[in-house]
């Protein structure tokens, strides 16, 4: 057996159970510190840049639940995310609902979408699932473009509410919402990783037939992971209309979401809860800086090249590099 | 003729013509995805890159775009062979082509698109060969040469490929490598070399298909997106490794999609690709003409 095959499952060398209280406490402290620091900075742009990066923390963690742990590639992250975003628009237009109930609804819609997709294709080889997710984004895009109620290809406006107390600005409000969601997403990913579900998914990734033979209910575990992953992607998209105040299909289904959802976990280290966070912070900051300083096309080129370089040279991401160095 | 019937017949005929283009786009994938089991989702992006190359060549030299497409095929073969060599070294030998190989081709697709945007801008490009606005009529049914000529070139290319696979030693080795690389090794053939040859052919076909694409419709750097669902659906529908099945599936696909566009509006037609794909995956994953699941 080759060196690489032996080093394959970094997630399996999981630390002992527990430590949840430490994680949640630390995450909460970090979040509060972050909000306080940004308040001191007193710059509205900082909230928006922070939101931009945090939405990718959620999206990348969601992708990692299925892609990293079980090894099933989802190319349609943009589709799931847009489903969440348009759930917000529909509910706001139809019922005048505020952001928070919309997030819950978006989780349900995208989760069901994931369940349906998985139910149709997960019995087949992973490749079929990957291709089906890619096409799902296309069909959802088509439906939204043809759906006049949500603005069709012209897009829809979401007027932000004036009353954002106890938050100073609207930017701070959406940032804090996304921060809470990011902490939840990472926490869920971490819990999955340390649970029997995570072990089962890792078994599927390493050898699905062997896992099946050993009594792992592979299809059920995959369906749970797909649903959870889809729901979290919807959650990542739900606040998007409030963030940008205007949403059109082009922006909601942007390929950048699909690419980043894959690139960030792979660069950080797929199959570990911290990997997507590292990848999202790194690539998100890089892109935010590149968009401000260079052109947006160039910043996407950087992402593409970094992705290719990492999957070829460092298949276990930054975390893998560190683990490799320690070994 | 009854106008509704004429509309229907015209829809079917131009669907078949469109199917010729789809066959060109999917045939290369039938080699790489179907025979070699390499999930090259950058295939449509390579096709669009081929289309841009055709625009450049034919506007610079004035030669026919389809001739340019055929002439540039060797160049695309080189690109494909290079891509495969890298893919083999970085992923196949390591044994993790499933996740990382997919991500690799996704990244390649992304890089191609961004490079095209940076170099050509986001505007649509097109070519105007002399036959672009000529239409043959047979009663009430139109045969626009803009669709017919690229379709014919595509069929010729696919026919040549089928002949090569069936008759030549290397062609048979390509069919063999899909089934049993070890047996090939026993015959003293290097499976990696055969796969490199085959992958190069598949990318060369993408280059030719690009020429067909740009004659049929204007292109922009993202034209490949809508083809991803289509070509994979056609490939799976056609039974993966079968060129004949792929061509028939492409025609069926073109007709269904074109009738949708005719009767429900063109903005709905991308959804057809996905609908067909999902149906096939759910009901008959071995394809319409395949046997083993």
Alpha-carbon span B37 to B29, nearest angstrom = 10
Q: What is the pLDDT of residues B77-93, one digit of tens each?
A: 999 999 999 998 888 87
Q: How many CB pairs under 8 A join A and B?
A: 138
Give mean pLDDT, residues B157-177: 88
Share of chain B above pLDDT 90, in %: 28
Written in H, E and C, the secondary structure of B106-135 is HHHHHHHHHHHHHHHCCCCECCCCCCCCCE
Work out the angle at residue B218's Cα, subtended by the Cα atoms of residues B146 and A143, and round it to the nearest 5 degrees. Answer: 110
Q: What is the spatial distance between Cα B2 and Cα B22, in angstroms, rounded to a whole number?
A: 30
Give the pLDDT score at A236.
92
Do B104 and B98 touch, CB atoms closer than 8 A? no
- CB-CB: which of B90, B118, B285 is closest to A297? B118
Q: Do A135 and B273 touch (CB under 8 A)?
A: yes
Maximum average pLDDT range among A8-12, B65-69, B277-281: B65-69
pLDDT of residue A8: 41
User: What residues in B contact A138, CB-CB < 8 Å?
Assistant: 225-226, 228-229, 270-271, 273-274
For residue B260, what are its two tokens? 């949708």
What is chain A's mean pLDDT, rounded? Answer: 82
Tell me whether residues B104 and A259 touch, CB distance under 8 A. Answer: no
| CB atoms B225 and A300 under 8 Å | no
How confident is the model over A7-30, as a mean pLDDT? 65
**C-alpha to C-alpha distance for B26 and B43, rounded to whole angstroms:** 9
Name which of B82, B91, B277 to mutate to probe chain A: the one with the most chain A Cβ atoms within 10 A of its Cβ: B277
Residues B55 and B59: their CA atoms lie apart, in Å, by 6
The residue that leads in pLDDT, B229 or A214, is A214
Classify each residue of A292-309 as buried b or exposed e, where b means 16 or more C-beta atoms within 10 Å of its C-beta.
eeeeebebbbebbebbbe
Listed ranges A154-168, A254-268, B121-135, B200-214; the one with the highest mean pLDDT: B200-214
- Mean pLDDT over the full length of chain B: 85
Q: Considering only alpha carbons, which residue of chain A is nearest residue B232?
A: A131
Q: How many CB atoms lie within 10 A of CB B150?
A: 26
Which one has a higher pLDDT value, B22 or A142? B22
Q: How would DSSP label each residue in B1-49?
A: --HHHHHHHHHHHHHHHHHHHHHHHHHHHIIIIIIS----TTHHHHHHH
CB A198 within 8 A of CB A273: no
What is d(CA B213, CA B219) in angstroms, rounded to the nearest whole number? 8
Q: Which site among B281, B286, B292, B293 would you substitute to test the A interface, given the most A Cβ atoms closer than 10 Å to its Cβ? A: B281
The encoded tokens of residue A139 equal 């069909």
Return all residues near A101 (Cβ < 8 A) that are at least 6 apart: A91
Asked if A213 is an interface residue toward chain B (Cβ–Cβ < 8 A), one would say: no
pLDDT tens for B2-54 read 778 888 888 888 889 989 999 999 999 999 988 888 888 899 999 999 999 99
- The yes-or-no verdict on residue A138 having pLDDT over 50 is yes
Q: Residue A307: which pLDDT band, with cuts at 50, 70 and 90? A: confident
ipTM of the complex: 0.76
Question: Is the whole-model pTM more than 0.90?
Answer: no
Q: What is the mean pLDDT of residues A2-11?
A: 41
Minimum mean pLDDT range among A7-21, A183-197, B236-250, B257-271: A7-21
DSSP string, B241-291: S-HHHHHHHHHHHHHHHHHHHHHH-GGGHHHHHHHHHHHHHHH-TT-SS--
Q: What pLDDT, in 10s, does the model give residues A316-326?
A: 888 888 877 65
Q: How far apart are CA A60 and CA A41, in angstroms?
A: 27
Which chain B residue shows the shortest CA-CA distance from A126? B98
Distance from CA of B25 to the nearest CA of A (A): 16
How is residue B80 written in tokens? Answer: 């494909």
- Mean pLDDT of the B205-229 span: 88
C-alpha B114 chain-centroid distance: 21
The distance from CA B151 to its chain's CA centroid, rounded to whole angstroms, is: 12
CA atoms of B210 and B58, how far apart (whole Å): 13
B121 versus A231: which is more confidently predicted? Answer: A231
A73, B118: Cβ pair inside 8 Å? no
Interface residue of A10, A71, A118, A132 to substitute, partner B, most B CBs within 10 Å: A132
The tens digit of pLDDT for each residue in A157-184 reads: 877 766 666 777 888 888 888 999 999 9
* Subunit contact A311:B104, Cβ cutoff 8 A: yes
Two tokens, residue B40: 């090259």
Name all domains of chain B by residue range, CATH numbers in brackets.
3-283 (1.10.3470)
Percent above pLDDT 70 for chain A: 89
Closest CA to B226 of B258, B265, B271: B271
The Cα–Cα gap between A190 and A183 comes to: 10
Query: According to DSSP H, which parts of A71-150 are helical?
Result: 77-95, 99-121, 126-146
């Amino acid at each position: 057996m080759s060196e690489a095959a032996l080093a394959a499952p970094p997630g399996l060398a999981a630390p002992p159970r527990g430590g949840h209280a430490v994680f949640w406490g630390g995450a909460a402290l970090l979040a509060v510190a972050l909000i306080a620091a940004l308040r001191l900075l007193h710059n509205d742009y900082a909230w928006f840049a922070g939101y931009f990066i945090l939405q990718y923390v959620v999206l990348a963690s969601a992708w990692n639940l299925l892609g990293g742990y079980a090894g099933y590639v989802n190319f349609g992250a943009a589709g799931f995310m847009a489903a969440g975003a348009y759930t917000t628009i529909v509910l706001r237009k139809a019922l005048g609902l505020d952001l928070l109930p919309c997030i819950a609804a978006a989780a349900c819609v995208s989760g069901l979408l994931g369940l349906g997709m998985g139910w149709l294709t997960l019995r087949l080889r992973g490749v079929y699932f990957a291709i089906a997710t890619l096409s799902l984004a296309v069909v959802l895009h088509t439906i939204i473009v043809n759906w006049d109620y949500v603005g069709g290809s012209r897009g829809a406006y979401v007027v932000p509410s004036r009353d954002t107390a106890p938050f100073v600005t609207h930017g701070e409000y959406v940032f804090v919402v996304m921060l809470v969601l990011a902490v939840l997403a990472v926490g869920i990913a971490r819990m999955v990783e340390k649970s029997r579900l995570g072990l089962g998914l890792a078994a599927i990734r390493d050898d699905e037939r062997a896992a099946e033979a050993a009594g792992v209910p592979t299809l059920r575990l995959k369906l749970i992971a797909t649903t959870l992953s889809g729901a979290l992607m919807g959650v990542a998209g739900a606040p998007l209309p409030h963030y940008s105040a205007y949403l059109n299909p082009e922006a909601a289904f942007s390929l950048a979401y699909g690419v980043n959802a894959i690139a960030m976990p792979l660069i950080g280290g797929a199959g570990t809860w911290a990997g997507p966070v590292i990848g999202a912070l790194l690539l998100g900051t890089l892109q935010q800086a590149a968009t401000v300083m260079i052109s947006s096309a160039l910043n996407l080129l950087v992402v593409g090249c970094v992705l290719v370089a990492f999957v070829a040279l460092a298949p276990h991401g930054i975390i893998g590099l560190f683990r490799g160095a320690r070994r | 003729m009854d106008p509704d019937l004429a509309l229907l017949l015209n829809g079917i005929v131009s669907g078949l013509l469109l199917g010729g283009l789809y066959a060109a786009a999917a045939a290369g994938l039938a080699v790489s995805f179907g025979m070699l089991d390499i999930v090259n989702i950058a295939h449509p992006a390579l096709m669009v890159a081929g289309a841009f190359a055709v625009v450049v060549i034919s506007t610079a030299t004035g030669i026919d775009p389809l001739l340019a497409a055929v002439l540039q095929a060797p160049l695309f073969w080189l690109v494909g062979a290079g891509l495969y060599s890298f893919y083999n070294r970085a992923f196949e030998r390591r044994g993790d082509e499933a996740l990382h190989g997919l991500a690799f081709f996704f990244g390649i697709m992304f890089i191609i698109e961004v490079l095209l945007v940076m170099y050509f801008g986001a505007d649509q490009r097109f070519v105007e060969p002399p036959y672009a606005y000529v239409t043959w009529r047979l009663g009430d049914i139109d045969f626009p040469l803009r669709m017919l000529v690229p379709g014919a070139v595509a069929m010729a290319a696919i026919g040549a490929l089928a002949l090569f696979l069936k008759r030549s030693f290397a062609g048979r080795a390509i069919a063999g490598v899909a089934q049993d690389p070890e047996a090939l090794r026993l015959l003293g053939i290097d499976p990696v070399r055969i796969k490199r040859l085959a992958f190069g052919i598949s990318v060369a076909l993408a280059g030719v298909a690009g020429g067909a694409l740009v004659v049929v419709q204007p292109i922009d750097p993202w034209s490949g997106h809508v083809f991803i669902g289509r070509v994979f659906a056609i490939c799976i529908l056609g039974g993966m490794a079968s060129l004949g099945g792929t061509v028939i599936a492409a025609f069926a696909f073109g007709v269904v999609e074109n009738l949708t566009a005719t009767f429900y509006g063109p903005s709905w037609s991308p959804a057809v690709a996905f609908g067909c794909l999902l149906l096939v995956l759910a009901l008959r994953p071995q394809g319409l003409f395949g046997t083993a699941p």
